Structure 1
Amino acid sequence: MMWIQIIGHLLAGCIGLSLGLLGGGGSVLALPILVYVMGISPKTAIAMTLVIVGTVSLIGTIPHWRKGNVNLKKALIFGSATMLGAFCGAKIAHLPFITETLQLSLFGVMMLVAAILMIRKGSLSSPEKKEDTELYPPPICQYCWLWLITEGLAIGILTGLVGVGGGFAIVPALVLLGNTPMKEAIGTSLLIITLNSLAGFLGYLGTVPLNWGLMASFTVVAAFGTFFGAYLSQYIEGKQLQKGFGYFLIAVATFILVQQP
C-alpha cells in the first residue's frame, strides 16, 4: 500500500538523520524497518540492509577523508579480515540450522549491545565536549595486529549474519588494539563498514530475491537524511540525544526479541 511505502521511506530518512546527528547507531534501524514495516523477509532484508548501510557509510567517509581522518593502512589490514568474515557470515546464513528466527534474535541482541554502548557514551559525554576521547582507556598495546585481525573476523561474521555494520565494536578495536586516535578511528571505521557491507552483500547475491528499486530508494532517502542530520548537528548537540536514542534502540530490540517464537 502507498501509505506503507511513505511511512517506510520517512523512517529511512530517520536512519540517515540519526547517523548525521549522532555519528552512528541509525543503521541498525534499517533491518527492522524493512522487515516489520515493509514486509520483507529477514534474509532478503539483511542483504538489502548491507547495501543501505554500506552506501551511507561510504558517503559518511567522505568528510572524514577530506579532514585526513581515514587511515588506509589500518582500514585495509582490519578491513581485509572483516570482509573475509562478512562473506563467510553471509554463506553461514544459508546453512539449514541458521533460521530467520535465529538471525533476528541475534540481531536483537547486537542491537541491545549497541544501545547500551550508546547510552554509556552519552553518559560520559558533556555538552561542551566534541570528542569522546575518555570513552575508551589508553591503548592496550602499540600494534596488536593479531588481536585486531581476530576481532575483525568476528565482527565480519556478525555483519554477514545479521547485517549490522559493527561500528560499535570497530571503533574501540581500532583505538585499543590499533593505537588509533579517536577522530581517525571513527573515519576509518566508516570505510571498514563499507568494505564489510560489500563483502557481506556479495555473499548473499544470487541466493536471495532482492527488491532493487526499494533498496535504491531507501539508500537515496537515508543518504539525504544523513546530509540533513549533518547540517542540523551545527545547531543541535547530538550527544544530548544519544542516551535517549539508546533507550529507543533498547525498546526496538526488545520488540524484535519478543516477536520471535
Structure 2
Amino acid sequence: MTTLVLALVAGAVVGLALGGLGGGGSMLAVPALIYLLGFTPAHATTASLVIVAVTSLTGLLAHARAGRVRWRTGALFAAAGLPAAAAGGALSANLPAALLTAAFAALAALAAWRMLADARKPAEPEPAAAGPTPTVGAARPTGAVRPAATGAGLGAVTGLLGVGGGFLAVPALVSALAFTMAEAIGTSLLAISANATAALLPRLGSAGSVDWAVIGPFTATAVLGAWDGKRLADRLSGRTLQKAFAVALLAVAALMVADALWR
C-alpha cells in the first residue's frame, strides 16, 4: 500500500511539472523510481520513458487545444534533435560521469540565469486573446534553419547528459526562438513526446520486466497531473512561470552538485 501511495504522489508531481512547466518530468521521475520505489537505474530509465512519453503527449493535447503549440517550428525542433541525441548518447559513454554531472549542473544553472534575466526585462504589451489562438506559428513565422539548429544542439546536449530535454527546451525556445513562455511550454511537449518515444523504442524488449503494477498508477496520476498543470499555467503569468522554472533549474543544479560531491 505504501508503494502504491508513493507511486500516486510521485506521478502527480511529475504530471504537474510536465503540464505546468513543459519539462522536468524525467528529472523527477527517475529519482522517484529509484529512491522511493526501489527500481534499478536501468528499469527506472525505461519506466520513466513510458511515463514521460504518455504524460507529455497528454499535456501536448491540452496545450494544443488552447492554441499554444507552434506545430511547424516545434516539429523541426523535435526532428532535428533526434539524430543529435543518438550521437550525443554514443559520445557520453566515453566521458567520465563526474564531467557529465558538472556539465549538466552548469548548463542548468546557465539556463536558469537566462530565464531570470528574461523575466526581469520590461514587459511588452501583448494583444488580448479572445479564446484559443489558432495556428500560433502562422502569426509569427520562423525560418527553418534556426529551429533545426537549436533543436539539434538541444538534442546533442540531451543525449550527452542522458536526461530528457524538456527543462532545456523551454529556455531554448524562449531565448533562442523568441517564443512566449506559454508557447514554449506547449511546444516543448511536442519535442519531449518525440524524444521519449524514440528513446523508448529500443528498450521495448526490456519493458516486460518493469513492474507495471507500480508504473500503471504512477502514469495515471501523472496524466491527471498534466491537466492540472495546464490549468495552473492558465492562471499564472509568463513571468511567474519563468521564475518558477528558473528556481526549479537552480534546485536541480544544486542537487546534482551535492550528489556528485557526496559520492
Which residue identity lines up with residue 58 of structure 2 in the other structure?
A: I
Distance 1:23 1:84, change over 3 A: same
- TM-score norm. by structure 2 comes to 0.69
Partner AA of 1:157 in structure 2: A
- Which residue in 2 is equivalent to 1:227? 227
Task: Please say if residues 13 and 222 of structure 1, whose CA atoms lie closer than 8 Å, have aligned partners that are also in contact.
Answer: yes
Greater helix share, 1 or 2? 2
Contact 1:89 1:157 in 2 (8 A): yes
Partner of residue 154, structure 2: 155
The one-letter amino acid paired with 2:150 is: E
Cα distance, 1:70 vs structure 2:
2.9
Shift of 1:25: 4.5
TM-score (norm 1): 0.69
Deviation of residue 248 (structure 1)? 5.2
Give the 5 Å matches for 1:63-142: 63-92=62-91, 95=93, 97=94, 107-120=104-117, 123=120
1:206: how far off?
A: 3.9
Residue 173 of structure 2 corresponds to residue 169 of structure 1:
no
**Shift, 1:107, TM fit:** 4.8
Matched, 1:24 2:1: no
- SS of 1:70's partner is coil
Which residue does 2:45 correspond to in 1?
46
> What is the distance in 1 between the residues matched to 2:238 and 2:34?
28
Distance in 2 of aligned mates of 1:170 and 1:245? 9
- Asked whether the equivalents of residues 21 and 241 of structure 2 are also in contact (C-alpha less than 8 Å), the reply is no
Cα offsets for 1:3-25 (capped at 9, x unmatched) = 355234313212222444x4334
Partners of 2:86 and 2:187 in 1: CA distance: 20
Query: Can you list the C-alpha shifts for 1:141-193, whole angstroms capped at 9, x where unaligned?
Result: 96260x4323322322333442223353356347745x766654443322122
Partner of residue 138, structure 1: none
- Match of 2:34? 35
Q: Is the 8 A contact 1:167 1:190 kept in 2?
A: no
> Aligned runs of 1:163-202 on 2, under 5 Å?
163-169=163-169, 172-173=172-173, 176-177=176-177, 183-202=182-201
Answer yes or no: is the 8 Å Cα contact 2:154–2:168 preserved in 1.
no
1:32-58 deviations in Å (ceiling 9; x for gaps): 222332333334433333332232221
Shift of 1:116: 4.0
DSSP 3-state at the match of 1:40? coil
Q: Cα–Cα, structure 1 residues 88 and 35, in superposed 2: closer, same or farther, change >3 Å?
A: farther
1:112-140 superposed Cα distances (whole Å, 9 cap, x missing partner): 445445544555598x9999xxxxxxxxx
> 1: CA distance between counterparts of 2:164 and 2:237?
25
Distance in 1 (alpha carbons) for counterparts of 2:96 and 2:158: 16
Contact map agreement 1:165 1:193 (CA 8 A) in 2 = yes
Q: Is the 8 A contact 2:170 2:181 kept in 1?
A: no
| Change in CA separation of 1:3 and 1:107 when aligned onto 2, cut-off 3 Å | farther
Q: Distance in 1 between matches of 2:236 and 2:181?
A: 21
Q: Distance in 1 between matches of 2:54 and 2:127?
A: 26
> Structure 1: how far apart are the matches of 2:3 and 2:250?
24
- Aligned-residue offset at 1:194: 1.0
How far apart, CA to CA, are the structure 2 residues paired with 1:47 and 1:90? 15
- Which letter maps to 1:40? F
